[in-house]
Amino acid sequence: MTQAGTDTSERMSGLIDEFVGQSQPYYRRVFGYMMQAPGYRFTFNPAAAVLGSVWFGARGLWPWFLGFLLVETFAFIQLARGIFGDLGRDLRDRAASIAETLELRRQQIEAAERSGAATLESLQRAAASLQEAMSQAQLAAEQADSTRLFYIGFGLVLLLGLRIMSASLANWALEGQFTRWRSDRSVAHGWSVPRMILSVVLFALVVLPSTIKFAQPEAVAFLSEFPTNRNWRLGVGDMIQAAFDRIKTGGRGFFDALTLGMRALLDGLEVVFVGTPWPVVALVIIMLAYLSAGARVAIFTGAALAYLGFLDFWEKAMTTIALLGAAALISITVGIPLGIYCARRPRVFAVVRPILDFMQSMPSFVYLIPVVAFIGSGKPAGVVATMIFGSPPVIRFTVLGLQQVPDAVREAALAFGATPRYLLWRVDLPLAARTIMAGVNQTILLSLAMVVVASLIGAKGLGEDVLEALQYAAAGQGILAGLAILFCALILDRIVAGKRR
């Protein structure tokens, strides 16, 4: 071996010794064997075989620790059920319940025999059925008790297999962590006693309660029911209700103005879509589809509008589009400027992002509660609920589109003397237009998805037909109304997306 090769080998051995901390000769030999070829090479780690998941935790391999811990917990649960569990308890409880009912039937039979009641024969048949069910439950309980050895054997085999698997994978996982540690010294390394103590504590906190709960469910009541008090929820609910009342009283002028503005916008849009003669509206929509996406989309739009008209959905569809247009118009008008502002100020976006996450993750029905509390029911409340549900995509996509504008293009524009306003309108927005329009499209479609939900608070339109179909189990009418909503969504999607597809 040359001097350079010797130096490299000694340097690698020093790195391995620094990384592993303990059992250095063993790991120098094992790592040297594993580095001879890429991929997995079988080795056996006795310490991992004994300690199992705790070994991975002590080495800082926390994902491996969690995976093995969960499966080991399952194995210990099977062992505990086989050794300490009452496997036939549920069946015996069922047999005892049947026995109580059977005793009641026997008393009724005796009374019927004394009185000569006509129900004697039916009571006797019921008692015979109960007797058979009780016998079957007792037999099933005995059979369940006889499976004790199966659970013990299954738990032992599973635990042994896990230990063999952990011993076979331990060195491979540790060698991968060693590779990461060589380029990033912040990666966990060495055998840490605090990590081992933490692993043991976590192991005990997961395994012990789980085995006790499944083996002896009634031994510790704390494990079966969360320690709570129903009065706490009632008290917090009363506090929230009081806060809503104060906000509604203090902001009555604001909410009245908001309702008035929503109603005025809705009335204007309904005049356009509902009040205008239907041939004019249909012709304009078909022309928009043709100019935006071509002849095929225009033909499809005409067919969809014919479906809405011939099946008497025209007026309700136009009412739905008016409500959707009001919500989408407000969402887009507010969302794009807010997205531009957030894209240029990351700290502001760090505050806005959790709010957007909350708006998108909250179930749509929950939006109706504060909206009805502050605004009341009707179309304006439906517009507000739809706007809250549909506005996050346009904000997120605007931020994403502006963040994806290449820095080289912006620097070149600034080098040629572009002002911030010119940079925004002539560089950033044109390059981000495709992404922003995708956000607009998502906002429109999500707003349309709220049509049925908004009908619960008095918003008219196609959602009302779907809601009535659900209430009266009218499957055919519900399908037709659902298809009408689908066609509205497809028309808007094709017009907004245009030929960019």
Residue 452 has pLDDT above 90, yes or no: no
- What is the reported pLDDT for 70? 93
CA dihedral 143, 145, 149, 151 (to 10 degrees): 100
Composition of the chain by helix, strand, coil, percent to 5: 85, 0, 15
Distance separating alpha carbons of residues 23 and 19, to the nearest angstrom: 11
Residues 45-68 have pLDDT tens digits of 999 999 999 999 999 999 999 999
Amino acid identity at 270:
E
- What is the reported pLDDT for 170? 92
Amino acid identity at 193:
V
Yes or no: say if 79 and 155 are a contact pair by the CB < 8 Å rule: yes
Distance separating alpha carbons of residues 427 and 412, to the nearest angstrom: 10
Name every residue whose Cβ is closer than 8 Å to that of residue 95 and which is 6 or more positions away in sequence: 134, 137, 138, 141
Distance separating alpha carbons of residues 77 and 152, to the nearest angstrom: 10
Residues 314-330 have pLDDT tens digits of 888 888 888 887 888 88
Higher pLDDT, 146 or 44: 44
Higher pLDDT, 461 or 3: 461
Mean pLDDT calculated for residue range 366-390:
80
Distance separating alpha carbons of residues 277 and 210, to the nearest angstrom: 69
Yes or no: say if 335 and 398 are a contact pair by the CB < 8 Å rule: yes
Residues 114-133 have pLDDT tens digits of 777 767 778 788 888 888 88
Q: Extract the tokens encoding 485.
A: 């909503």
- DSSP-assigned letter for residue 426: I
Distance separating alpha carbons of residues 464 and 470, to the nearest angstrom: 10
Of all residues in the chain, what percent carry a pLDDT higher than 70? 97
Place of tokens 């005995």: 142
- What is the reported pLDDT for 241? 83
Least confident of 247-261, 399-413, 421-435: 247-261
Mean pLDDT calculated for residue range 89-109:
83
Higher pLDDT, 30 or 460: 30
Higher pLDDT, 456 or 76: 76
- Residue 501 — pLDDT band, cuts 50, 70, 90? very low
- Residue 271 — pLDDT band, cuts 50, 70, 90? confident
- Residue 6 — pLDDT band, cuts 50, 70, 90? low
Tell me the pLDDT of the chain averaged across its residues: 84
Mean pLDDT calculated for residue range 195-207:
93
Burial class (CB in 10 A: 0-12, 13-18, 19+), 453: buried
Yes or no: say if 332 and 445 are a contact pair by the CB < 8 Å rule: no
- Residue whose C-alpha is closest to residue 198's, from 400, 58, 348: 58
Mean pLDDT calculated for residue range 233-255:
83
- Residue 498 — pLDDT band, cuts 50, 70, 90? low
Mean pLDDT calculated for residue range 370-385:
79
- What is the reported pLDDT for 58? 92
Distance separating alpha carbons of residues 438 and 114, to the nearest angstrom: 82
Q: Extract the tokens encoding 162.
A: 């896990």
- DSSP-assigned letter for residue 210: H
Mean pLDDT calculated for residue range 425-439:
88
Distance separating alpha carbons of residues 301 and 284, to the nearest angstrom: 11
If DSSP states are collapsed to H, E and C, what string results for 371-400?
HHHHCCCCHHHHHHHHHHHHHHHHHHHHHH
Residue 237 has pLDDT above 70, yes or no: yes
Residues 164-192 have pLDDT tens digits of 999 999 999 998 899 899 888 888 888 88
- What is the reported pLDDT for 358? 85
